[in-house]
Amino acid sequence: MNYKEALQNPIFKIISQSANELHLDSYVIGGFVRDFILNRGSAKDIDVVAIGSGIALAKQVAKNLPNKPKVQVFKTYGTAMLRYNDIEIEFVGARKESYNEDSRNPVVEDGTLEDDQNRRDFTINALALDLNENRFGNLLDPFGGIQDLENKIIRTPLNPDITYSDDPLRMMRAIRFATQLNFVIEDESLNAITRNNSRLEIITKERIIVELNKILESKVPSIGFLLLEKTGLLNYILPELTALKGIDEVEGQRHKDNFYHTLEVVDNIAENTDNLWLRWAALLHDIGKAPTKRFSKKVGWTFHGHEFEGSKMTYHLFKRLKLPLNDKMKFVQKMVFMSSRPIVLAQDIVTDSAVRRLVFDAGDAVEDLMTLCEADITTKNPKKFKKYHNNFKIVRDKIVEVEARDHVRNFQPPISGEEIMETFSLKPSKEIGQIKDVIKEAILEGEIPNEHEAAFQLMLKAGKKLGLTVAK
């Protein structure tokens, strides 16, 4: 089978010519070939294998390109990379690998194309196109990768127990590809992941998170999380999630399974946002429910304070997984902490003061918070579903109305501390904070507009109550 149409980009002819000048055989392999056959759009990175030195081939290609791009050489890995227009091309010499039990870093030797294809993680990533002039575009498919693409199957080229034990990150990659491509992991391979799940402990958190984020960024993230749970991998990564699994019953009273509910919420939010950190918030919004679950004979199952507990757990989870401990983490914490606020509003009469406080506390994240809360509606009762969404629309409209009038998002008080000090001839003191709090509360309650004159008059009254006199 010939795939010359995949190699229409001029770079492939230049690689072919350069390899010929060095008397090397060369092949494009892996994701580029897979994605072309799946019609997944234009590639941003290309992997080229040389039977010989990949670094030498990269330098020869750069020499033959008009703009003479810089070649980045990674001697430790025997690879080199250059950019051609907006494409990253990585060159490597064909190799065979052997592994030690306590490391995913292989011992590498020079090898043949067959050796190189044997070391690939999945049959669909072992597909190669020949770049040699007289065989240009010929497909090399030693493991039936084309058939697996047609049947939508993830399968390892060799014994899956060896493949996954050698490099346990491949277990995460199998699930990631199954999620992204909506493929099925064949049974023997899936069972091998379960058998080898403890091997994930030798993989760095950073590498695991790369794969986990790609699962979370997929169209239907629950596919991946269900597979992670089924194979036992999730317990090594996010035990806070697996702790939500199961339904308890006391005196005939039950609660919903918060694990499966969480995955529904994540799928719902994936339909409405590409924001990775908002998707993380959806994934973690109920993690505080496991440690706060209680049963009361009067009210049944309760999860009091689960939002506060969940926001605290978010910090420790981010730290453990080497996720960024910056504004992204704080955003997720805020979303988890506030995740029930709009739901409470949507159940009751929506007052202006309640909406002002919501906007004040959420700030610029208020739209994200509403998106999260709408995703949190997983009831299968069509009347309840419609009622909640209608009420959320009322809340959204009220947010726009209140914000246009009262400007409480990222609230800046109309009276500054300096003006209070000057008015009452004060030095820095607790009274300044007390007066500012009185003004803020009055604005949020709608007692005064968010304007300087009204706030100034209230400042005078508040100061008088505190026994302060206006400076002359």
Query: What's the pLDDT tens digit per position in 151-197?
Result: 999 999 999 999 999 899 999 999 999 999 999 999 999 999 999 99
Mean of pLDDT values over 36-56: 91
- 427-to-121, 393, 415, 417, 430 alpha-carbon distances in Å: 69, 47, 16, 10, 10
pTM of the model: 0.87
**pLDDT band at residue 141, thresholds of 50, 70 and 90?**
very high
Mean of pLDDT values over 455-462: 95
Decide if pLDDT at 376 tops 80.
yes
Domain-terminating residue out of 151, 166, 198? 151
> Mean pLDDT in the chain?
91
Decide if pLDDT at 107 tops 60.
no
Q: What is the 3-state secondary structure (H, E, C) of 424-471?
A: HCCCCCHHHHHHHHHHHHHHHCCCCCCCHHHHHHHHHHHHHHCCCCCC
Residue 30 is assigned to a structural domain of this protein? yes
Domain-terminating residue out of 131, 151, 171? 151
**pLDDT given for residue 252 in this prediction:** 59
Residue 388 is assigned to a structural domain of this protein? no
**pLDDT given for residue 323 in this prediction:** 97
Residue 165 is assigned to a structural domain of this protein? no
Decide if pLDDT at 362 tops 60.
yes
**pLDDT band at residue 99, thresholds of 50, 70 and 90?**
low
Integer-rounded Cα radius of gyration of the chain: 30
Predicted confidence (pLDDT) per residue in 398-421, tens digit? 889 888 888 888 788 899 999 999
**pLDDT given for residue 407 in this prediction:** 84
DSSP per-residue letters across 179-241: HHHT-EE-HHHHHHHHHTGGGGGGS-HHHHHHHHHHHHTSSSTHHHHHHHHHTT-HHHH-HHH
Residue 215 is assigned to a structural domain of this protein? no
Residue 50 is assigned to a structural domain of this protein? yes
**pLDDT given for residue 112 in this prediction:** 84
Helix, strand, coil percentages, rounded to 5, for the chain: 55, 10, 35
Residue 373 is assigned to a structural domain of this protein? no
Residues with Cβ within 8 Å of residue 343, at least 6 apart in sequence: 373, 376, 388
Give me the CATH number covering residue 62: 3.30.460.10
Decide if pLDDT at 98 tops 60.
no
pLDDT higher for 293 or 212? Answer: 212
Domain-terminating residue out of 99, 123, 151? 151
**pLDDT band at residue 28, thresholds of 50, 70 and 90?**
very high
Write out the two tokens for 253: 């009273």
Predicted confidence (pLDDT) per residue in 199-229, tens digit? 999 999 999 999 999 999 999 999 999 999 9
Of 232, 292, 445, whose CA–CA distance to 357 is shortest?
445
Domain that holds residue 24: 4-151
Position 231: which residue type? T
Write out the two tokens for 372: 């999260």
**pLDDT given for residue 103 in this prediction:** 58
pLDDT higher for 384 or 46? Answer: 46
**pLDDT given for residue 348 in this prediction:** 62
Lowest mean per-residue pLDDT among 39-53, 147-161, 162-176, 265-279:
39-53
**pLDDT given for residue 105 in this prediction:** 60
**pLDDT given for residue 138 in this prediction:** 96
**pLDDT given for residue 97 in this prediction:** 60
Mean of pLDDT values over 434-450: 92
Residues with Cβ within 8 Å of residue 261, at least 6 apart in sequence: 286, 378
Residue 444 is assigned to a structural domain of this protein? yes
**pLDDT given for residue 60 in this prediction:** 97
Number of domains in the chain: 2
**pLDDT given for residue 429 in this prediction:** 93
Mean of pLDDT values over 31-37: 95
Mean of pLDDT values over 96-113: 64
**pLDDT given for residue 343 in this prediction:** 74
Residue 118 is assigned to a structural domain of this protein? yes
Decide if pLDDT at 102 tops 70.
no
What percent of the chain clears pLDDT 90, i.e. is strictly above it?
Answer: 71
Predicted confidence (pLDDT) per residue in 328-342, tens digit? 999 999 999 999 888
Decide if pLDDT at 304 tops 90.
no
